[in-house]
């Protein structure tokens, strides 16, 4: 079986993958879709491991039986250009790492640690014990956390936050979350978003990006959150209206925001402004480069899933995490 791996993030797990793949596998490594010779490599490949598969690569892979993303997203795989019957699968394992990010962000922003760090570097002790003008921060035990989207990421983040004594609320598209089973105070449908925003000190966005959820948080929603609340976006950037978020932060309409997902990304390389607006000038924003789920543990779990699925393919067994089958 020939396997082409075109995801540089998996190189750290190269030895584990080599041991876990079916005996006799031929593995070709490529770091990116633009690597010379990739079309030739996939021409007789059984499996392509990549979250990207444009039409040219898909058409070249005439023998492909499986395209496996090393992550959740498959939107950059041109399923229609793949040979008929090719299975597209994905994998996750990022929920623990993203949950850590949510907890860390909530603490950093609610406790004012970002501001304290900047101030102390100049010799200023920005704490209410030394400056009565500095407001007393709030612990997570007093927080009401509202989740917009409550899939595996939201649920895992809530498990962690619940341990601090926080109160939890959630809204989802279907409105079928069992609040009691998850230890939430209540759970509703997206029509209940306003009620969630009115009560939440921390709002966690982990909903998928769809035409219905694009821009779901705008100026009116941010105003409902109020000046002591924070927003943590680990879903997709356009869930939040870009200018509305910038203005709410700049005008202190909300206390702060942790933004891990953006409005623009590098087109190769590692340089690009994440927004046309100067979020980098805002002192109350934690800016991270879509890294909330990026830990070695995330990709070790993904590598194990991919190897197991390739093993199933070799054995003629049903595959796991199937997203689509090429028509």
User: Which CATH number does the domain housing residue 321 bear?
Assistant: 3.40.50.720
d(CA 91, CA 71): 5
Are 133 and 279 in the same domain?
yes
Count other C-beta atoms under 10 Å from residue 273's C-beta.
Answer: 13
Its pTM stands at: 0.92
Are 218 and 308 in the same domain?
no
Kindly give, in sequence order, each residue whose CB lies less than 8 Å from that of residue 90, ignoring residues fewer than 6 positions away.
Answer: 68, 69, 71, 72, 73, 74, 321, 323
Are 149 and 253 in the same domain?
yes
d(CA 47, CA 42): 8
Are 43 and 119 in the same domain?
no
Are 238 and 100 in the same domain?
yes
Are 173 and 229 in the same domain?
yes
Q: pLDDT value at position 105? A: 98
Are 154 and 207 in the same domain?
yes
Q: pLDDT value at position 111? A: 97
Are 87 and 99 in the same domain?
no
The count of domains in the chain is: 2
d(CA 315, CA 313): 5
Are 88 and 182 in the same domain?
no
Residue 33, domain extent: 2-92+296-325
Are 149 and 249 in the same domain?
yes
pLDDT (tens, 9 = 90+) of the chain, 327 residues, equals 999 999 999 999 999 999 999 999 999 999 777 778 899 999 999 999 999 999 999 999 999 999 999 999 899 999 999 999 999 999 999 999 999 999 999 999 999 999 999 999 999 999 999 999 999 999 999 999 999 999 999 999 999 999 999 999 999 999 999 999 999 999 999 999 999 999 999 999 999 999 999 999 999 999 999 999 999 999 999 999 999 999 999 999 999 999 999 999 998 889 999 999 999 999 999 999 999 999 999 999 999 999 999 999 999 999 999 999 999
Q: pLDDT value at position 15? A: 93
């Amino acid at each position: 079986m020939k396997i082409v791996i075109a995801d540089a993030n998996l190189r750290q797990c190269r030895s584990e993958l080599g041991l876990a793949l079916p005996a006799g596998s031929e593995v070709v490594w490529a770091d990116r879709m633009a690597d010379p010779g990739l079309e030739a490599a996939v021409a007789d490949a059984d499996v392509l491991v990549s979250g990207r598969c444009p039409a040219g690569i898909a058409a070249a892979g005439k023998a492909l039986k499986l395209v496996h993303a090393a992550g959740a997203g498959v939107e950059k795989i041109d399923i229609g250009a793949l040979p008929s019957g090719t299975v597209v699968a994905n994998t996750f394992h990022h929920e623990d790492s993203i949950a850590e990010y949510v907890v860390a962000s909530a603490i950093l922003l609610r406790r004012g640690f970002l501001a304290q760090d900047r101030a102390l570097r100049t010799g200023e002790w920005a704490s209410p014990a030394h400056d009565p003008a500095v407001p007393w921060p709030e612990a997570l035990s007093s927080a009401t956390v509202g989740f917009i989207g409550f899939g595996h990421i939201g649920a895992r983040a809530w498990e962690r936050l619940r341990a601090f004594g926080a109160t939890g609320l959630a809204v989802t598209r279907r409105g079928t979350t069992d609040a009691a089973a998850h230890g939430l105070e209540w759970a509703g449908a997206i029509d209940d978003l306003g009620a969630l925003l009115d009560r939440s000190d921390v709002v966690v966005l982990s909903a998928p990006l769809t035409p219905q959820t694009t821009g779901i948080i705008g100026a009116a929603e941010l105003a409902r959150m109020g000046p002591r609340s924070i927003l943590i976006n680990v879903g997709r950037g356009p869930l939040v209206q870009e200018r509305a978020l910038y203005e709410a932060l700049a005008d202190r309409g909300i206390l702060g925001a942790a933004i891990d997902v953006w409005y623009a990304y590098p087109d190769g390389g590692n340089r690009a402004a994440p927004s046309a607006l100067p979020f980098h000038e805002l002192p109350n924003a934690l800016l991270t480069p879509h890294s909330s789920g990026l830990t070695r543990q995330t990709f070790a779990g993904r590598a194990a899933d991919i190897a197991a699925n390739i093993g199933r393919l070799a054995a003629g067994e049903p595959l796991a995490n199937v997203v689509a089958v090429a028509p």
